[in-house]
Every structure is written in structure tokens, then in C-alpha cells.
Structure 1
Amino acid sequence: MPSLRPGILAPLPCFFNADETINYDQFAKHTLRLAEAGVMPVVSGSMGEAIHLEREERTRLLNLARTVLDEAGFVTMPIMAGAGGLSTKQAVQYAKDAASAGADSVLVIPPGYYGLGEANLEAYYTTIADQSPIPVLIYNFPAVAGGIDMSSDLILRIAEKAPNVVGCKLTCASVAKLARVAQSPLGPRTTGIPFFALCGFIDFLLPGIIVGAQGAITGVPNFAPKTCQELWELCQQPLTPEVLCQANKLHLLVSNADAAISSAGIPGMKALLHHLEGSEPYVRSPLLPASANAAEKLISNPAIVSILEHEKQLSSRR
């Protein structure tokens, strides 16, 4: 089976108890809930507070996700794992751990501590790709990587040197960069499929699909998985004027929700899921849980209310 499949992926939160230990039961339930809606998991990504997790915790979460999916019959659903490290050695170890724990690919963010230049980044990714047992995707997210914003030229240059670099996630939200990467005539990847360009937010999925995106990794499916899947399915149809009109309306609904949850951050996501699923709202310090006022503001946000109502309607139809 291919390690990458077009569609919607969600960076899964890591649920904690009040003492900051991981609540593995809640993680398992949430993983299965999204899989049942067709959403593929990203374990230990930015939303999963990977920077705050121990190596053993990352491995256990991946093992659990694979076990839960397999036992529920989702044996062919791929798992992507976060594997970025502050050193190349650390990232390579995370990639090897992920492969052993059942991940099918790894998503690697640049180490932003020292403000590395392009030569450093080329060496970082090519070394990881050479030593990783599973395919590697570049994760371009300047906001959490010390402002590093990888250009399309740099991404493609790395991919040319390292066929095991099989794709990228662009959380810089540049449609133009996505188009340049997705439409470049790169040589064969180790996956046997073309270079895999993913939107880093769902709020540019529709234009992204038009220029070659293979899907999106987005936090919105954590609370509205069926709605995100509906948008994806619409985007796969021939974009006739009627379909485009429907897709634009749904895209606006999802985009507004994406903006609201992005502003609320990880504490906001935890607060919203606590409201919807009863999961624990705790984060791992130095993050702080959302205040009662912030949680209520998010839950009552018109964009969140609207998408949850749409999600409820979809659930009632199926």
C-alpha cells in the first residue's frame, strides 16, 4: 500500500490528565472517531504538542494509533508522524522510532533555534531522508520554526537530491509556492507516486486543489471531520459552475472555522473538544489551558457554531 493517500489529514491533539500525564484512552477514542469519518491521522505534530513529548511517549502514541486503527478494520489507513528535531541526529532517531511503531511516513519541520541557512537545511533533510526507513515530507511552518520560510526552489532542490523526500506540507499558506512545487517534473519518488504537496491549512484547499494539491493537513477535522470530508469530495468532482458554487460556499464555512480555531491555538482546541467530547482540556506546560472566558468565546464564535451545525446535519443524514 502507498504510504501517502490523497485526502484530509488531521494533526491529532495529545490529551493530558491534570498532572500532565498522557490520557491514552482519550487519544485512542479520538483517533478512531476521525478514522470513521475518513480522516487520516498525523501523530505528534504541532497540534499534538510534539515539542513537549518524550521519545517514549511519541512511540507509545504511534503504537496505540496503529493498534486502534487495525483493530477497527482500518488496516490500510496510513499514519503520518511528526519527526522534526533540533538536531539531525534527533530527527533521524524520531524517524526510525516512527517506522518501528507503525508510521508510514514522517513530517519533518526545520530546526528553528539557530536560524539556519539553506545549506544547513539541505544537509538536514538529505541526511534524514537517507537514513529514514520511511518516506519523509518537508514541513514548512515559519511561525513555529524560528521564521524559516523555505522557498519552492529550496524544497525542490532538496527533493532532487533525496528521492525519499516525497512531499511537503505548506503551512506558509502560499498557493503560488504550492503550485510551483506540485507541478514540477521531479524524478520518481520512493513511494512510486508524484511529489505530494499538501495544504497546511484547509482554508486554501479549493485553490490548492486547482493547482495540484493532494489534500490538506488541518486541525478543523478534529471537531468537524464529516464537513471536511464533504469539502474534499466536492473538490474531487469536475468543477462545473454548479459544483464550484457549492464548493465555494462550503469552503467559506470551513475557512472561517479554520481562522477561529487557529487564533485559539492548542488550548482553544482542547477546550472545544472538551465541550464536544468530554475530553480533558489540559495542555502540557508551559502552555496554559484556555480560560473559561476564552473557551466560551470560542464555543460561541459564529464560525464554530455554523460548522458544528453543519456537522450535525451531516451526521443525521448518514
Structure 2
Amino acid sequence: MSELTEGILAPVPCFFDENEEIDYAAFTEHVVRLAVAGVMPVVSGSMGEAIHLERDERIKLIKETRKALDAADLDSIPIMAGAGGLSTKQAIQFATDAAEAGAVSVLVIAPGYYGLGEANLTDYYTKIAAASPIPVLIYNFPAVSGGIDMSSDLILEIASKSPNVVGCKLTCASVAKLGRIAQTPLPPRTTGKPFLALCGFLDFLLPGITVGAGGSITGVANFAPKTCQKLWNMCQQPLTGETLKEINALHLITANADAVASKAGIAGVKGLLHELYGTPANVRSPLLAAPKDAVSELVNNPAIVRVLEVEKSL
């Protein structure tokens, strides 16, 4: 089993049957599909409806993912798991569970219920990092955490105090913030590797890489994993001349798809995946399934059609 590394990760949707019970077979089949393309899974993240999952469900999802990857001879693919909680105690429990179930790192979102300040957030992350058996990444996503938007100064302050905070995911989409974080020297991490700054959307991967991004956690990888992986591989080449033009062209295709998929939300993406792979389109209440006409519009959206054309060509 490999450690967390740079590259493309997918926040895997949690698939439910008509009774809102988890369809573990559909989930693991999808994870293996992504891993074959080189994409690493994030289990129980925002797109995975983590907020709707019970503790035992989170544990089983990780265990079943590890089992499926190993059975498919994909034991080198690491698992990242969501471990954010509304209390520090809960997040520490989720992180401990994730480690025991087979994850190699945890992604921890800020608890947004009380609109916490910097002192609270510093206390939250440093305590989780100190107690977690595996490395911790800070997840900055203002839209789903009560508007909390962590600054680069705050993230760096927390990281400087906590060597087990080894990276961050920035779904605030700030290239400037990412650059400040990625290029600021920090004491050695518990991974022995540099601090890993990840783009929370694929649509700023290319500019992100120019300032030090180590990859992206992107929903686009759920329906175009080969395309996302190709973009990542291309971005490892010199970003000059004709090569840069080719990278920019592919980046625009994926960025357009990312914008459309983000607007469609969890239910929309599940509807799209149902059309592509037959995975269940069900969500867990209070979310509602996407209407058929909305799914049809998504499937036929020019940006989605274009990225799927590229995907089929690979």
C-alpha cells in the first residue's frame, strides 16, 4: 500500500439504493474504475455525502475500498478519507477509524456550525494532527463550512505547529493563496515530503502547478479519469512553447467540464454517472435526486460532451 503522493484524486460519490442504503458493490466498482486510470480515491468527502454517513458506514466504505483495490492488484493506490467533524473529538475518532480501516491520510474540513475564529481553528487542527495516526490535510471549502475561508497565514501557522499537517485542499480556488502556501518553507512533515497543496477544482490546476500545486481533488475525475490523468501527466512537462499550447487546450476542456459539473452538484453528477456507468443515481435525504430533464441537459451539455469525447479517445 502506497503513501499519499502528488497527482489526481477523485472525491468518490457514495452510491445508495432506493432505500438510501449504501451500495458498496457499485461504490467499489467505481473506485477500481478510477484507480485503473491512475486516479486516487477520496472516500467520504463532500461529494461522498460524508455529512449524511454514520460512523460504521464510513469505516466500511474504506475497508471495502481497500479490499477491492487489493483484489484488483492496485495495492499501490492510496486511500484518502474525509475526517472532518463538528467537534474535535469526533474528527479525531474519524481519523483513527480511517487509519485502522486502511486510509493513509485524512482530509479535514473546518467545522462551520459556529462560525469559528482563527484561535478555534488552530486549536481544532493542531489537536487532530497530534492525535491522528495518519497524516492530516486541511480542507478549505467556504461554501460548505459556514463561510469559513482560511487564509494562507492561518494554514501556514497551523502547519508550522503541526508536522502531521502535511497538506491542504483549496476549494476556495485561490491561486495566490495556493502559491503562498506551496512556496513558503516549513519544518519537515511526518511524511518526509514537502507540504502538499492541492487544487480543489480542476479548472485552476495549470496555473496552480506554476506556483507549486501538487495535484487536484476533482469531481471531473469521476467521469473523465483518463483525461484528468493525461492533463496531470502533460503538466509534468516543461510549460513552454507548443507543449504549453497543447496543455492549455486540454486544460480548457476540463475546466469547462468542471464548471458545468460543479453547478450540477452531487445529484447531477450522480445522474451523469448513472447514464455513463449505470451506477445508482439515488442520494440520501434531505438531498433530492436530479430531475430527468436536468440530467439530460447535463449529459448533452457541450462541455460534458467534449470532455467525454476526449475520454473515449484515450
Q: Could you list the per-position Cα deviations for residues 192-242 of structure 1 after superposition, in whole angstroms to 9, with x for gaps in the alignment?
A: 001110000000000000100000000001000000011001100011211
| SS of alignment partner, residue 177 of structure 2 | helix
Q: Could you list the per-position Cα deviations for residues 232-269 of structure 1 after superposition, in whole angstroms to 9, with x for gaps in the alignment?
A: 01100011211100000000000000000000000001
Q: Which amino acid aligns with 2:13?
A: P
| SS of alignment partner, residue 206 of structure 1 | helix
Q: Which runs of 5+ in 2 are unaligned?
A: none
After the TM superposition, which of the residue ranges 71-80 and 108-117 deviates more from structure 2? 71-80
- Counterpart of 2:45 in structure 1 is 45
- Counterpart of 2:181 in structure 1 is 181
Give the length in aligned residue pairs.
Answer: 314
- Counterpart of 2:34 in structure 1 is 34
- Counterpart of 2:274 in structure 1 is 274
| SS of alignment partner, residue 45 of structure 1 | coil
Conservation of the 8 A alpha-carbon contact between 1:2 and 1:191: no
Q: Which amino acid aligns with 1:199?
A: C
- Counterpart of 2:235 in structure 1 is 235
Q: What is the alpha-carbon distance in structure 1 between the residues aligned to residue 144 and residue 109 of structure 2?
A: 9
Q: What is the alpha-carbon distance in structure 2 between the residues aligned to residue 269 and residue 95 of structure 1?
A: 27
- Counterpart of 1:312 in structure 2 is 312
Conservation of the 8 A alpha-carbon contact between 1:270 and 1:282: yes
Q: What is the alpha-carbon distance in structure 2 between the residues aligned to residue 240 and residue 115 of structure 1?
A: 44
- Counterpart of 1:112 in structure 2 is 112
Q: Which amino acid aligns with 1:126?
A: T
Shift of 1:3: 2.6
Q: What is the alpha-carbon distance in structure 2 between the residues aligned to residue 199 and residue 297 of structure 1?
A: 27
Conservation of the 8 A alpha-carbon contact between 2:2 and 2:77: no
1:64 aligns with 2:64: yes
Shift of 1:20: 0.1
Q: What is the alpha-carbon distance in structure 1 between the residues aligned to residue 265 and residue 217 of structure 2?
A: 15
- Counterpart of 2:171 in structure 1 is 171
1:205 aligns with 2:205: yes
Q: Which amino acid aligns with 2:277?
A: E
Q: Which amino acid aligns with 1:301?
A: N
- Counterpart of 1:100 in structure 2 is 100
After the TM superposition, which of the residue ranges 68-77 and 113-122 deviates more from structure 2? 68-77
Q: Which amino acid aligns with 2:18?
A: A
Shift of 1:66: 0.6
Q: Which amino acid aligns with 2:166?
A: V
Q: What is the alpha-carbon distance in structure 2 between the residues aligned to residue 158 and residue 146 of structure 1?
A: 20
Q: What is the alpha-carbon distance in structure 1 between the residues aligned to residue 239 and residue 298 of structure 2?
A: 33
Conservation of the 8 A alpha-carbon contact between 1:163 and 1:188: yes
- TM-score, structure 1 length as denominator? 0.98
- TM-score, structure 2 length as denominator? 0.99
Q: Which amino acid aligns with 2:219?
A: G
Conservation of the 8 A alpha-carbon contact between 2:2 and 2:75: no
Q: Could you list the per-position Cα deviations for residues 151-199 of structure 1 after superposition, in whole angstroms to 9, with x for gaps in the alignment?
A: 0000000001110000000000000000000001101000000111000
Q: What is the alpha-carbon distance in structure 1 between the residues aligned to residue 276 and residue 217 of structure 2?
A: 21
Conservation of the 8 A alpha-carbon contact between 1:104 and 1:134: yes
Conservation of the 8 A alpha-carbon contact between 1:107 and 1:139: yes
- RMSD (CA atoms): 0.7
Q: What is the alpha-carbon distance in structure 1 between the residues aligned to residue 137 and residue 221 of structure 2?
A: 21
- Counterpart of 2:253 in structure 1 is 253
Q: Which amino acid aligns with 2:135?
A: P
Q: What is the alpha-carbon distance in structure 2 between the residues aligned to residue 112 and residue 227 of structure 1?
A: 34
Q: What is the alpha-carbon distance in structure 2 between the residues aligned to residue 74 and residue 299 of structure 1?
A: 30
- Counterpart of 2:130 in structure 1 is 130
Shift of 1:73: 1.1
Q: Structure 1 vs Structure 2: percent identity of aligned residues?
A: 70
Shift of 1:39: 0.2
| SS of alignment partner, residue 212 of structure 1 | coil
Shift of 1:48: 0.2
Q: Which amino acid aligns with 2:268?
A: G
- Counterpart of 1:214 in structure 2 is 214
Q: What is the alpha-carbon distance in structure 1 between the residues aligned to residue 87 and residue 159 of structure 2?
A: 20
- Counterpart of 1:150 in structure 2 is 150
Conservation of the 8 A alpha-carbon contact between 1:234 and 1:247: yes
- Counterpart of 1:287 in structure 2 is 287
Conservation of the 8 A alpha-carbon contact between 1:163 and 1:189: yes
| SS of alignment partner, residue 106 of structure 1 | strand
Conservation of the 8 A alpha-carbon contact between 2:163 and 2:187: yes
Q: Could you list the per-position Cα deviations for residues 28-83 of structure 1 after superposition, in whole angstroms to 9, with x for gaps in the alignment?
A: 10000000000000000000000000000000000011111111111121110000
Q: Which amino acid aligns with 2:230?
A: E
Shift of 1:10: 0.2
